[in-house]
Amino acid sequence: MANSDSVSNGTASTRPDLGDIKTLEQFILEQQDRFPHSTGAFSRLLRDISLAAKIVNRDMRKAGLIDIYGSTGETNVQGEVQQKMDALAHREFVLALRRGGECCLIGSEEHAEAIPLDTSSEGDGKYIVLLDPLDGSSNIDVCVSVGTIFSIYRLPDEYDEDEPDLDAALQPGTEQIAAGYVVYGSSTMMVYTTGNGVNGFTLDTSIGEFLLSHPDLTTPKTGRIFSINAGYYHSFEDGLCDYLDWLQEYDENDPNRPAKTRYIGSFVSDFHRNLLKGGIYMYPATQSSPEGKLRLMYEANPMAWIAEQAGGRATDGHTRIMEKSPTKLHQRTPLFIGSEDMVRRAEAFLQGDPDRVAAGE
């Protein structure tokens, strides 16, 4: 069959013949053979996460028919109204990880405390999984794309895998061994990294498999998209306001200005678009939320690693996200993430030095 051109990472590329397309499981096993540190337990853990994602995708596609739209009437640990799909996604991921036996500790946006799992009679149980089971869930009622974000760490040697405690999960993002997200939209994609680049897999619902559709993803060095809730403009610090004004100024020598605003309100969806097309996503501190609102451990850290592995950058405006030392499971942080040049420029404005050369530092 003849090859055809497609766009996978912002530039034209050659789409492989169907016979050459790998399933997620085939790809994971191939990587396991290529890298000696990979284990069968780790491969099974990724399989468990993909299985839960398929179940969440299935239920979301019929949400309006089985009464899982709307809220549960309860609030989660974040003080946010919990949606029915939040609860369902949390349950499915916990069940999948519990059954698999490779995970000994789960941290979830939907649960106040870390969840220890009994691994004494199951698998190796040496991995910690932190996740946002359903990012952007308030958008489900209006059919807007939402997603799952996950981050995987090894259990430190000094902790007992049968009785791990919360401190075992409080590791900086530099210690991640895998990170990824699933976006549930016009198609369902799983994108992840283990530190050797970024790869994307699209769910073929006819066979129930994630297929490698976006190999070796890279993000453009700069872009023309900025994603931010500009309704809070007057609550932003001056440096950020100046950066937003700069982005929207016309410059005949810069084809990326004025930049375009694209903001969905679902972090996974905004990040995924900017990863492919080039852009910057910003969720800054405000007067009412001086620490920001995104969670460091299961939102900012995993996305930061994906961005960096794809050639991008992630910061809180002053510090590399993955170098921040966590002190609590649900710790919040400001986040500026995306194309390297755009993030560097944002940092320059935030640090009061907008005239410095941002690129190539």
The correct CATH number of 4-214 out of 3.30.540.10, 3.40.50.150, 3.20.20.80, 3.55.50.30 is: 3.30.540.10
Q: Tell me whether residue 170 is annotated as binding.
A: no
Q: Tell me whether residue 134 is annotated as binding.
A: yes
Please report which helix (H) or strand (E) contains residue 212, including its range.
strand 209-214
* Dist CA 27 CA 237 (whole Å): 45
**Rounded mean pLDDT, 109-117:** 90
Q: Tell me whether residue 299 is annotated as binding.
A: yes
Q: Tell me whether residue 361 is annotated as binding.
A: no
- Read off the pLDDT of residues 4-55 as tens digits, 9 standing for 90 and up: 444 444 443 444 455 578 999 999 988 877 665 566 888 999 999 999 999 9
pTM recorded for the entire structure: 0.89
The answer to whether the beta carbons of residues 349 and 314 sit under 8 Å apart is: no
What does the pLDDT read at residue 10?
44
Bridge partners, 129 (sequence order): 106, 152
Taking Cα atoms as reference points, which of 277, 338, 305 lies closest to residue 153? 305
Q: Tell me whether residue 132 is annotated as binding.
A: yes
Pairing of β 335-338 and β 332-333 = unpaired
- Interior CA angle at 281 toward 203 and 298, to 5°? 60
Q: Tell me whether residue 293 is annotated as binding.
A: yes
What does the pLDDT read at residue 153?
96
Domain borders along the chain are: 4-214, 225-350
Identify the sign of the CA torsion 136, 137, 143, 148: positive
| CATH 3.40.190.80 fits domain 225-350 | yes
What secondary structure does DSSP assign to 38-82, as a single string? --HHHHHHHHHHHHHHHHHHHHHHTTTTTT--SEEEEE-TTSPEE
Residue tagged 């500026």 (tokens): 336
- Read off the pLDDT of residues 42-58 as tens digits, 9 standing for 90 and up: 899 999 999 999 999 99
- Non-local (6+) Cβ contacts of 336 within 8 A are 280, 281, 282, 284, 314, 315, 316, 317, 343, 346, 347, 350
**HSE, side-chain direction, 13 A CA sphere, residue 163:** 0
Q: Tell me whether residue 325 is annotated as binding.
A: no
Residue type, 240: L
> What φ, ψ does residue 140 adopt, rounded to 5°?
-60, -40
* Dist CA 57 CA 354 (whole Å): 43
What does the pLDDT read at residue 359?
43
